[in-house]
């Protein structure tokens, strides 16, 4: 655990821990009700009472950011899960079956990678309707292609290992080999990649909620907060820039820790 | 003659790949649109007229014909594919304007900021890499090499709004919105250049550093060649191939980035048009945009492959990593 001696890594862990607490138990960190407006306290600058200031309806921005963590991070996590599961299954089948099936599947994976992820997400959102779940499906589908590629290359590497040959000679059936030998050995690089994908997913999800494709208005999703503050950027730039900065800090923290997980130092 | 044959053997498969990617992109979009639950036309009409919109079935059928959403799936699939090949991408459900026309109108605005962003991003990446290369102190070098990659982690809406707040509202140097003048393109281009430049920097700087550790650079340094000349003559040349390869990826980034950037700066363009189309659930427009962007992306990759053949003849003759024996046999 030499990582624990590095200040950047420790700082990243602290930010992630705070983000997780904010998603699971926002009442522990919030100072106000995120939906309660105080008519006399509109558009206030940051102060001891309102840490990030208040919005145009007199709601506490800090508490809204805290309560927004759950939706924003849940969509991003779901997106990564969708990407990993779909990608891993496709890559596993493609690499293990091989031959013509492999060729055809991989050509489709090429296309999935070729179409820009945002556009893919937009098609899914336009077809399924707006909301955190369809966002997550769209972003996840955009990431699935690269996961499939990594998984397949792992499977191809492991398939020719001696222990797999041995298992096959002993008469172990293919599904059992897949679950007992191939999957555990292929997992590590895929997990490292999933950790890195989390940062990207947070960015994509917040960009899409910024564009207005997330949960309907009162929900304090991070991207939606930035978008709502946009109208006041001339007079109260903090209203959109502070939630934007929070997204940046969380993404940086996730990326820093993910790099350490991947052993890329 | 062998030259022509070698080129044909190199290019024809690439051309086939290009066509495949375009058709497959079309297929992917088609599958997503038609197999995800929900009727695209009803969703679009509901977005247009409110959730309680009532349409009688006969009218709905007429609308289906009008927007090209009638007939069996096979008829639609091949009908639209043939029409698209002839430049007809159907009619927008929300505005009634042909999609090709909408894209043609919005395209120049996006190309303006995208090409400017590419210029800014690539120039600053090369400049920072040179400064890092020439830096007299190791700490400065480390700083110059480690800071730029963070550009990828900055959300475009954050950098865009920061730029607006500083340069448009506080200093009053540049306009905050619109697409009428050249000035208005500068801030959006910088916003877009940040992730694109950061991505390019990662590839470019690592290629330069790798070349720097090579024997020929060692020899050049030993001969007393001045650093700037080493940078342009030896390092830049060898960093060219990996840098060109990433161009295709950058185009994808640019296409995705315009959606956010054009919304932040209230600019006309492909990105904003797509966002509005998604808000209106206008599937015809979205399909058209994805197809055009996918085709451009594939075209750039095709050009990259051709450029590869020019820059590095080995890729042309061997189609892959050349073996020593084959290079020897050619002499």
Task: Map out the domains of chain A as residue ranges.
Answer: 3-26+69-261
Residue B24 Cα, gap to closest chain A Cα (Å): 6
DSSP state of B246: T
Q: How far apart are CA B41 and CA B168, in angstroms?
A: 41
Residue A138 Cα, gap to closest chain B Cα (Å): 10
Token pair of B243 as six digits? 């840098």
Token pair of B167 as six digits? 């340069």
Answer yes or no: do B161 and A237 touch at CB < 8 A: yes
SS3 A54: strand
The answer to whether the complex's ipTM is over 0.90 is no
B residues 35..74 contacting A (CB < 8 A) = 36-38, 40, 43
**Residue A230: closest C-alpha in chain B:** B161
Is A3-26+69-261 assigned to CATH 3.90.1150.10? no
Q: How far apart are CA B39 and CA B55, in angstroms?
A: 14
**Residue A209: closest C-alpha in chain B:** B260
Q: How far apart are CA B193 and CA B174, in angstroms?
A: 17
Q: Within 10 Å of residue B142's Cβ, how many Cβ atoms?
A: 12
- Length of chain A counted residue by residue: 265
Answer yes or no: do A129 and B256 touch at CB < 8 A: no
Using CB atoms, pick whichever of B28, B154, B286 lies closest to residue A122.
B286
Contacts of A61 (CB under 8 A, 6+ apart): A50, A51, A52, A53, A54, A55, A225, A238, A239, A242, A243
Answer yes or no: do B259 and A122 touch at CB < 8 A: yes
Low-confidence ranges of chain B (pLDDT < 50): 319-331
pLDDT for residue B327: 37
pLDDT for residue B1: 63
Closest CA to B111 of B259, B244, B254: B254
SS3 B98: strand
Low-confidence ranges of chain A (pLDDT < 50): 265
Q: How far apart are CA A73 and CA B112, in angstroms?
A: 34
DSSP state of A180: I
Token pair of A185 as six digits? 């050995």
**Secondary structure, 3-state, B177-224:** CCCCCCHHHHHHHHHHHHHHHHHHHHHHHHHHHHHHCCHHHHHHHHHC
Residue A223 Cα, gap to closest chain B Cα (Å): 9
pLDDT for residue A265: 44
Helix axes A117-128, B283-311, angle to 10 degrees: 160
Q: How far apart are CA A27 and CA A25, in angstroms?
A: 5
**Residue B291: closest C-alpha in chain A:** A115
> Cα dihedral angle (A113, A117, A119, A121), rounded to 10 degrees?
120
pLDDT for residue A52: 80
Closest CA to A68 of A205, A208, A222: A222
Q: How far apart are CA A86 and CA A99, in angstroms?
A: 20
- Residues of chain A with Cβ-Cβ distance to B162 below 8 Å are 237, 241, 244
Answer yes or no: do A126 and B277 touch at CB < 8 A: yes
Contacts of A110 (CB under 8 A, 6+ apart): A145, B21, B24
Return the exposure string of A71-100: e unless at least 16 CB atoms fall within 10 Å of the residue's CB, then b. Answer: bbbebbbbbbebbbebbbebbbbbbbeeee
Answer yes or no: do A233 and B156 touch at CB < 8 A: no
Q: How far apart are CA A20 and CA A26, in angstroms?
A: 9
Q: Is the dihedral of CA A142, A147, A150, A152 positive or negative?
A: negative
Q: How far apart are CA A213 and CA A232, in angstroms?
A: 21
B165 close to A233: Cβ distance less than 8 angstroms = yes
**Probe site for chain B from A76, A111, A217, A246 (most B CB atoms < 10 A):** A111
pLDDT for residue B192: 92
Q: Which residue has the tokens 């007229």?
A: B49
pTM, 2 dp:
0.85
Using CB atoms, pick whichever of B157, B255, B281 lies closest to residue A226.
B157
Q: How far apart are CA B186 and CA B163, in angstroms?
A: 10
């Amino acid at each position: 655990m030499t990582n624990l001696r590095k200040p950047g890594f420790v700082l990243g862990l602290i930010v992630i821990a705070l983000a997780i607490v904010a998603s699971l138990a926002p009442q522990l960190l919030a100072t106000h009700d995120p939906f309660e407006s105080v008519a006399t306290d509109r558009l206030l600058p940051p102060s001891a009472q309102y840490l990030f200031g208040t919005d145009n309806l007199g709601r506490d921005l800090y508490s809204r950011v805290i309560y927004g963590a759950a939706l924003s991070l849940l969509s991003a996590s779901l997106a990564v899960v969708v990407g990993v599961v779909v990608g891993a299954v496709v890559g596993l089948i493609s690499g293990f079956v091989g031959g013509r099936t492999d060729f055809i599947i991989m050509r489709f994976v090429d296309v999935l990678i070729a179409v820009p992820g945002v556009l893919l997400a937009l098609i899914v959102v336009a077809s399924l309707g707006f909301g955190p779940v369809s966002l997550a499906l769209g972003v996840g589908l955009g990431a699935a292609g690269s996961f499939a590629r990594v998984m397949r290359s792992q499977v191809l590497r492991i398939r020719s290992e001696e222990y797999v040959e041995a298992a096959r000679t002993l008469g172990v059936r293919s599904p059992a080999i897949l679950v007992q030998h191939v999957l555990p050995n292929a997992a590590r690089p895929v997990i490292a990649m999933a950790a890195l994908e989390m940062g990207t997913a947070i960015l994509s999800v917040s960009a899409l909620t910024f564009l207005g494709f997330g949960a309907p208005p009162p929900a304090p999703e991070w991207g939606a907060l930035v978008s709502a503050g946009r109208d006041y950027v001339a007079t109260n730039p903090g209203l959109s820039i502070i939630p934007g900065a929070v997204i940046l800090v969380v993404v940086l923290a996730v990326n820093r820790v993910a790099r350490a997980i991947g052993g890329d130092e | 003659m062998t030259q022509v044959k070698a080129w044909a053997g190199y290019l024809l498969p690439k051309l086939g790949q290009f066509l495949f990617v375009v058709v497959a992109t079309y297929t992917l979009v088609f599958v997503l649109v038609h197999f995800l639950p929900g009727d695209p036309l009803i969703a679009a009409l509901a977005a247009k007229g409110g959730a309680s919109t009532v349409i009688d079935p006969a009218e709905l059928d007429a609308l289906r014909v009008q927007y090209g959403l009638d007939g069996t799936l096979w008829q639609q699939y091949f009908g639209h594919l043939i029409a698209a090949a002839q430049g007809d991408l159907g009619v927008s459900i929300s505005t009634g304007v042909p999609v090709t026309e909408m894209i043609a109108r919005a395209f120049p605005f996006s190309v303006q900021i995208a090409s400017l962003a590419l210029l800014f991003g690539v120039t600053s990446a090369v400049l920072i890499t040179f400064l890092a290369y020439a830096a007299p102190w190791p700490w400065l070098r480390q700083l110059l090499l480690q800071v730029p990659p963070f550009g990828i982690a900055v959300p475009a809406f954050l950098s865009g709004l920061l730029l607006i707040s500083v340069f448009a509202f506080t200093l009053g140097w540049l306009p905050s919105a619109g697409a009428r003048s050249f000035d208005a393109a500068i801030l959006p281009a910088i916003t877009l250049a940040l992730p694109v430049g950061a991505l390019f920097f990662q590839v470019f700087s690592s290629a330069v550093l790798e070349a720097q550790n090579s024997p020929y650079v060692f020899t050049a340094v030993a001969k007393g060649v001045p650093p700037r000349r080493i940078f342009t003559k030896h390092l830049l040349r060898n960093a060219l191939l990996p840098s060109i390869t990433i161009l295709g990826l950058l185009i994808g980034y640019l296409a995705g980035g315009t959606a956010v950037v054009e919304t932040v700066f209230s600019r006309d363009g492909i990105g904003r048009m797509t966002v509005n189309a998604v808000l209106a659930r206008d599937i015809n427009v979205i399909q058209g945009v994805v197809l055009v962007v996918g085709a451009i992306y594939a075209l750039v990759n095709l050009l990259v492959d051709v450029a590869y053949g020019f820059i590095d003849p080995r890729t042309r003759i061997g189609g892959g990593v050349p073996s020593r024996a084959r290079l020897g046999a050619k002499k």
